[in-house]
Amino acid sequence: MEVFTEKERRMLTVTKSPSDELSLTNCLVINKDLFKDLKSLYRDELFAKISFNNGTKFTYKLCSYDKIRPELIGLSYIQRIWTDLTLERGVDVSICVCTAPAIICKINIKVDFLYKKNKIMDSFNTDLMSKKFNECFGDLPFTIGQKLVFKFTDKMPLLLLVVDKIECIENSVSTFGLLNMNSLVIFDKAENSDINLTGKYRGAATMTTTSILNPDWDFSKMGVGGLDKEFSVIFRRAFVSRVYPSELVEQLGLQHVKGILLYGPPGTGKTLMARQIGKMLNASEPKIVNGPEILNKFVGESEKNIRVLFEDAEADKKKYGVNSPLHMIIFDEIDAICRQRGTATGSTGVADTVVNQLLSKMDGVQQLNNILIIGMTNRKDLIDEALLRPGRLELQMEINLPNEEGRLQILNIHTLKLQEHKKLHSEVDLKQISVQIKNYSGAEIEGLVRAATTNAMNKFVSQGQGKVEIHQNAVESLLVTKTDFDVAASDIKPAFGSGTDDADHYLGIGIFEYGNPISSIIEFSKSLIKQAQSGCLVSPVSLLLHGPEGSGKTALAAHLAYKLSNFPFVKVVSSENMSGYSESSRCQAITKIFDDAYKSELSCIIVDDIEGLFDYIPIGPRFSNLVLRMLIVLLKKKTPKNNKLLIITTCNSLDVLRSLQVLNCFNATIEVPAIRDVVYMINILNELKLFNNEEIREIESSIKQKSFNISLKKLICLAERAKQYDDSKVVKFIYSLDQECDNIY
């Protein structure tokens, strides 16, 4: 059915629209008197239909203006572009009235800025735009592909609209129709447009995912190794919600994760990870703040420094709403300003007010959903607990020591340049090195590679007579070899590793496998070591070595820990290292060693002379109850998941531990006996090599009918003292032995 009925035809000449206001009406303009004459004849709304030879038709509503000549018809610039009409061109205009209106029930419109130079980041509310569009263009005809200019508000720039799709009441899909005040208007972003649209009348084509990741970012160039799992968790918890359209997030009532706390041992990559997160996100330039920089000696300045950090995010929130860009604030050493309130020294209370200010800004009355705060610390236990609740530093990620696969990734990262320029010797097996450098942090691995490279460079440097010269073939011949890595490993020691100095100190001259008592202890202990390594039901695995003082318990414990277990983390808790410590200081020192052990996959702790640790004295008896209770807790405390711990404890009196209810803390108890057998004594003397074979036979014949009960340490002392008498050392040794042994017949 024909929508418009032609009343008459006129030849009119195209001219510019007389005013900007008339251009925004989307109507064609004719002379006022001509319009008045036509209205008196037909008494209906007047429309102008322009047809071309190819059958294309354009229909606009007519309006009048008193200063345009009768032979002219005014078209705006956008109308002339769409209809392909040029100025001063004569066109055949059909004057029509609407007889069978095709009412638009739904119209889809593409939106963009009319002038790209005037584009803004402010959001356009499609709910208000739809209402304004119906008010401005009600009862106007629209055709698919039609272009028009739309003025939303006086403060907003002009918009260019293009009709994309029309649905009419009579026909679900149409190319033409009249807009009605009840027509549904849907706005979509034009292709390659930067306009921000919000509201329920925003089209599905505009509901695209947000590019939270920088489009130029390359994950392979992050320079972070061994943290794949941590990055995966951080992305799932903190960034997935930011990928979805802001309108959908608002509909779900979802608040993005605002804070991430990265904690763990020094050198494990916390700062590096935060720096790379700042680079990979499509966000504003991160603000990086060292914790102590916030504090200021002037009253109120510290709190002001916190407020300044959030000013940009607050301004963008007010200006752009849900489309505000993400703002990142990175706090290094956050524990310096966020300690538990009430624990700070001094009378100013600045530390507490800084924490209060940060808490209110992160999740106060006026909440911000466009911020991401990343805090880093080695001491999570120092941070105020209010900062760790959901809504603040909600995501707490422990950045621990890398495993074998992670160490290999870090080695590949730091040797990448060496490999690219063929400066790494073919004999260097990075996978084998990653197995050897257990408990190395990322920073220590970087230092290892650096030390190995400088070792290789040092080979081509000669020093002499005040000169330092580089060999001529250094550039071509320089290669980093396996030997360079071995030397570097002896220089760079892991902070959370087994100390060779401790091993030498506690092992001394080693252990003496003089007979069945020691060999059976070692054999049984091997099974406990295997249980600690591969078992999954019991952790920690604890062993108690008890026996008289000087029987070799400490050396035996050190042998099991340093030689047989091959655990990457071995530490000794000994009373001799804590002499003069107060009770609280002793508790802190012991707890720290256990906490460090939990950071390693495989750990062993030697608790040497446990009675001395809690200051047991038989007179009374007296002991430190605080240290005792803490030791009982640590011995029983279950280790974190995927961490294995072996505890080897030594004591001189089993009855003391039984009376203090400590004995039940151990999975196994083994006695390390004193020397009571002549055969065992002779075996020890043979291993000491202080006497020749003839002298040992003489000693054996002199004492084979006697009974002994002497500690290993005392026996070694007597043998070494007797050696000082060259001519009569056998007689002196036997005499001293008789004097020391209480049960000699």
DSSP summary character for residue 290:
E
CA distance 104 to 627: 84
Task: Determine which one of 119, 713, 723, 732 is catalytic.
Answer: 713
Instruction: Answer whether 262's CB lies under 8 Å from 270's CB.
Output: yes
Are residues 683 and 514 in contact, defined by beta-carbon separation less than 8 angstroms? yes
How would DSSP label each residue in 596-642? HHTTSSEEEEEEE-HHHHTT-BTTTTB--HHHHHHHHHHHHPPPPTT
Please, what sign has the CA dihedral across residues 184, 185, 189, 194?
negative
Catalytic residue (choose from 636, 637, 638, 704): 636
- Cβ neighbors of 462 (< 8 A, separation 6 or more) are 468, 469, 471
Residues 592, 634: contact at Cβ < 8 Å?
Answer: no
Contact predicate 199/127, CB 8 Å: yes
Non-local (6+) Cβ contacts of 735 within 8 A are: none
Q: Which two tokens stand for residue 409?
A: 């990734």
Rg from Cα positions in the chain: 43
Annotated catalytic residue 553: yes
Q: How many CA atoms lie within 13 A of 243 on its CB side?
A: 8
Place of tokens 């319009």: 35
In the set 361, 609, 649, 650, the catalytic residue is: 609
Q: What is the C-alpha to C-alpha distance for residues 722 and 155, in angstroms, rounded to an integer? A: 104
In sequence order, which residues have a C-beta less than 8 Å from that of residue 342 and are 6 or more positions away? 352
Confirm whether 608 is a catalytic residue. Answer: yes
Asked if residue 606 lies in contact with residue 557, where contact means CB atoms within 8 angstroms, the answer is yes
Print burial letters for 7-17: b (CB count within 10 Å at least 16), e (below 16): eeebebebbeb
Indicate if 732 belongs to the active site: no
Which is the catalytic residue, given 317, 553, 571, 729? 553
Check 608, 644, 649, 729 and give the catalytic one.
608
Give the three-state DSSP class for 717.
helix
Phi-psi region of 621 (alpha: psi -120 to 50; beta: other; left: phi over 0): beta
Residue (of 49, 131, 50) closest to 96 by Cα position = 49
Q: 142, 151, 240, 237: which is closest to 185 by C-alpha?
A: 142
* The amino acid at 209: T
CA distance 105 to 147: 19
Catalytic residue among 554, 571, 649, 714: 554
CA proximity to 47, closest of 179, 117, 185, 141: 141
Task: Please give the single-letter amino acid code of residue 84.
Answer: D
**Dihedral angle sign, alpha carbons of residues 193, 196, 202, 204:** positive
**How many CB atoms within 10 Å of residue 416?**
13
User: 467-470 and 28-31 as β-strands: parallel, antiparallel, unpaired?
Assistant: unpaired
**713 has catalytic annotation:** yes
CB-count exposure of residue 221 (10 Å: 0-12, 13-18, 19+) = exposed
Closest C-alpha to 72, from 31, 121, 123, 36? 31
Largest Cα–Cα separation, the chain:
149
> Among this protein's residues, is 636 annotated catalytic?
yes
What's 530-584 look like in SS3?
HHHHHCCCCCCEEEEEECCCCCCHHHHHHHHHHHHCCCCEEEEEEHHHHCCCCHH
E strand map for 101-256: 104-113, 123-125, 141-143, 147-150, 159-168, 176-178, 184-189, 196-198
3-state secondary structure of 142: strand
> Is 92 in the active site?
no
Q: What tokens were used for 131?
A: 């209402």
- State the catalytic residues: 553-554, 608-609, 636, 713
